[in-house]
Amino acid sequence: MMLTGWLRRHRDRAVFIVCLAVSLFLLTIPETLRFTLARALAAAALAPSDGAVWLGRHLERLRGENEELRERIMSLHDDLGRAEEYRKEAARLRRLLDFRAAESYRFLPAELLSYPLSFRERNLVRVDRGRRDGVRPGMPVVSPRGLIGAVHTVHPYHAEVQLLASRNFAVSCRDMRSRVLGVFKWDPRRGFHVDRVDLGEDVQVGDRFMTSGLGDRFPEGFLLGTVTELLRPPGALRLEIRLAPAVPIQTLEDVFVVTRVSEAAPGFPLPTDAPADSLEASP
Amino acid sequence: MRESRLQLALLVLAALFYPITERWVAPWQITVDWPFLLLFWIAFRRGRVAGCFYGLLLGLLRDLADFSQLGATALGFTIGGWLLGTLREKVDRESLGVRLLLLAVVYLIVQAVFLFVRAGWSPGAAVLAWLRYALPGSVLTAAGYLASLLIAAFLREGLGLLREPLDRR
């Protein structure tokens, strides 16, 4: 009671004594404990500033990463620009190749107007391209799968195409595997066959024959057919090679008239197992 | 009033950076004792209760800054705050010279207590350290007080100009 009254009367002195006591108490505690206490208090008191320092360092690291990423973006941007240049160059070279192809062959797309009806018509089909389109007699007619025939008669707005399955049609040909030369023909008895191949030549069933380019009538490389039968008749001097046509007439849809052939023609660019749409027609 | 608040803000700011200035900027290990100036500002205006309470608080914070002798500065600042709060009623508070003199004297007393404790309660070493550090430190601290007053006055003028309408200039 007396203490409470004294505290009320001398509040300032009481505070002073308590503060002094706290200070002296801190001085009297053991050194190790004092350090531990100081560290704990300092950690608590300096936590905000530590956070600020951490944030500063973190921001510094982020800034470094940002710089690095910016440099990376610039590098990638540079690579992208270079890739774009390569793409344009590739497109330009491809155009050049197309141009060369166009210089070698000009494929005039044509639509079939009629199918062959009988032998009397000499296995002719009619196409919707004629003299006004630059079509001339003797021009090869192809499909994406191989040779079909040649232009026979030309009219102003249409033309008649003689198919390979004609008695009086012969094409110089070559075995794609063994490079053996022969003459591709058709007759009603034997069908499609290759003539003038000696008995000792290397021809096998499954070989494919293409135009050889000899004779200047058909350019080299147009597929003609695949060997289905190989006969060696007794007493004969030549092989009898029968083929399945590369382009069955029943499946004929799109045809192209080869309106121009240059001497630099590298050959018809049909791959061995190319899909039907791999041949691009140039106008 | 505005000037004194500006001075308080400056002193708080300076006291916050005191550990840095004490370690890296102080010539001959003597510097303006900004925490003591903050204590002076508080005790001289709020009295001895606030003086000894904030003395203990500021002294503890200063002790935490160097980990050396937890409680040494707290004891000195507690006594200093009490003295400042007590003496302010007996002197002319408006006189700058009196304030500076009071500041310097109390600072020397605070440093005497602090150095006595730091010297392991050895009077001889404490007196030598007191002569070496406390005397020039009191002059520097008084100069720091003057500088804070001048900067606060300068800022007050600057802020007043900024707030004053253009047609009244």
Q: Give yes or no for residue A150 having a pLDDT over 50.
A: yes
Nearest to B85 by CA among B44, B120, B115, B118: B44
The arithmetic mean of pLDDT across residues A153-180, rounded, is 90
- Per-residue confidence (pLDDT) for residue A151, from 0 to 100: 93
- Pairs across A and B, CB distance < 8 A: 65
- Per-residue confidence (pLDDT) for residue A137, from 0 to 100: 92
Q: Which of the two residues, A79 and A278, has the higher pLDDT score?
A: A79
pLDDT band at A226 (very low <50, low <70, confident <90, very high): very high
- Per-residue confidence (pLDDT) for residue B24, from 0 to 100: 60
Q: What is the CATH number of the domain that holds A204?
A: 2.40.10.340
Closest CA in chain A for residue B73? A23
The arithmetic mean of pLDDT across residues A162-180, rounded, is 90
Domain span including residue A205: 108-278
pLDDT band at A117 (very low <50, low <70, confident <90, very high): low
- Per-residue confidence (pLDDT) for residue B105, from 0 to 100: 93
* Rounded Cα gap, residues A7 and A13, in angstroms: 8
pLDDT band at A171 (very low <50, low <70, confident <90, very high): very high
Chain A interface disruption, residue of B57, B58, B78, B118, most A CBs within 10 A: B78
- Whether B48 sits inside 8 A of A16 (CB atoms) is yes
Closest CA in chain B for residue A44? B64
Q: Give yes or no for residue A183 having a pLDDT over 80.
A: yes
Q: Is residue A32 part of a domain?
A: no
Name the pTM for this structure.
0.45
Q: Which residues of A touch B78 (CB under 8 A)?
A: 16, 19-20, 23
Q: Residue A239: how many CA atoms within 13 Å on its side-chain side?
A: 22
- Per-residue confidence (pLDDT) for residue A57, from 0 to 100: 74
* Rounded Cα gap, residues A206 and A227, in angstroms: 5
pLDDT band at A277 (very low <50, low <70, confident <90, very high): very low
Range in A4-13, A212-221, B87-96 the model is least confident about = A4-13
Range in A32-36, A101-105, A228-232, B46-50 the model is least confident about = A101-105
- Per-residue confidence (pLDDT) for residue A170, from 0 to 100: 92
Q: Give yes or no for residue A181 having a pLDDT over 90.
A: yes
Q: Is residue A88 part of a domain?
A: no
Q: Is residue A11 part of a domain?
A: no
Q: Which residues of B touch A15 (CB under 8 A)?
A: 49, 52-53
Q: Which residues of B touch A42 (CB under 8 A)?
A: 64-65, 67
> Which residues in chain B come in under a pLDDT of 70?
1-3, 19-29, 66-68, 161-169
Q: Which helix (H) or strand (E) holds A32?
A: helix A31-104
The arithmetic mean of pLDDT across residues A54-60, rounded, is 79
Q: Is residue A273 part of a domain?
A: yes
- Whether A15 sits inside 8 A of B52 (CB atoms) is yes
Q: Is B84 on the interface with A (CB under 8 A)?
A: no
Q: Is residue A99 part of a domain?
A: no
Q: Is residue A48 part of a domain?
A: no
Give the 3-state secondary structure of residue A114: strand
Closest CA in chain A for residue B53? A19
Produce one character per residue of A27-64: b if its CB has 16 or more CB atoms within 10 Å, e if not.
beeeeeebeeebeeebeeebeeeeeeeeeeeeeeeeee
- Per-residue confidence (pLDDT) for residue A227, from 0 to 100: 95
Q: How many domains does chain A have?
A: 1
Q: Which of the two residues, A214 and B158, has the higher pLDDT score?
A: A214
Best mean pLDDT range from A192-196, A233-237, B56-60: A192-196
- Whether B49 sits inside 8 A of A24 (CB atoms) is no
SS3 of chain A: helix, strand, coil, percent, to 5: 40, 30, 35
Q: Give yes or no for residue A167 having a pLDDT over 70.
A: yes
The arithmetic mean of pLDDT across residues A137-158, rounded, is 90
Q: Is residue A51 part of a domain?
A: no
Q: Give yes or no for residue A207 having a pLDDT over 90.
A: yes
Q: Is residue A155 part of a domain?
A: yes
Q: Which residues of A touch B65 (CB under 8 A)?
A: 42
- Per-residue confidence (pLDDT) for residue A241, from 0 to 100: 95
Residue whose token pair is 């390569």: A86
In degrees and rounded to multiples of 5, residue A198 shows phi and psi of: -65, 160
Q: Is B121 on the interface with A (CB under 8 A)?
A: no
- Whether A37 sits inside 8 A of B70 (CB atoms) is yes
Select from B48, B70, B75 the Cβ nearest to the Cβ of A38: B70
Chain A interface disruption, residue of B17, B52, B88, B113, most A CBs within 10 A: B52
When the pLDDT of each residue in chain A is averaged and rounded to a whole number, the result is: 80
Q: Give yes or no for residue A172 having a pLDDT over 60.
A: yes
Q: Which of the two residues, B153 and A269, has the higher pLDDT score?
A: B153
Beta-carbon contacts of residue A207 (< 8 Å; ≥ 6 apart): A175, A176, A177, A178, A226, A227
* Rounded Cα gap, residues B61 and B71, in angstroms: 10
- Whether B71 sits inside 8 A of A45 (CB atoms) is no
Report ipTM for this prediction: 0.76
Q: Which residues of B touch A11 (CB under 8 A)?
A: 49
- Per-residue confidence (pLDDT) for residue A97, from 0 to 100: 67
**Which tokens sit at A225?**
């057919």
- Per-residue confidence (pLDDT) for residue A99, from 0 to 100: 47
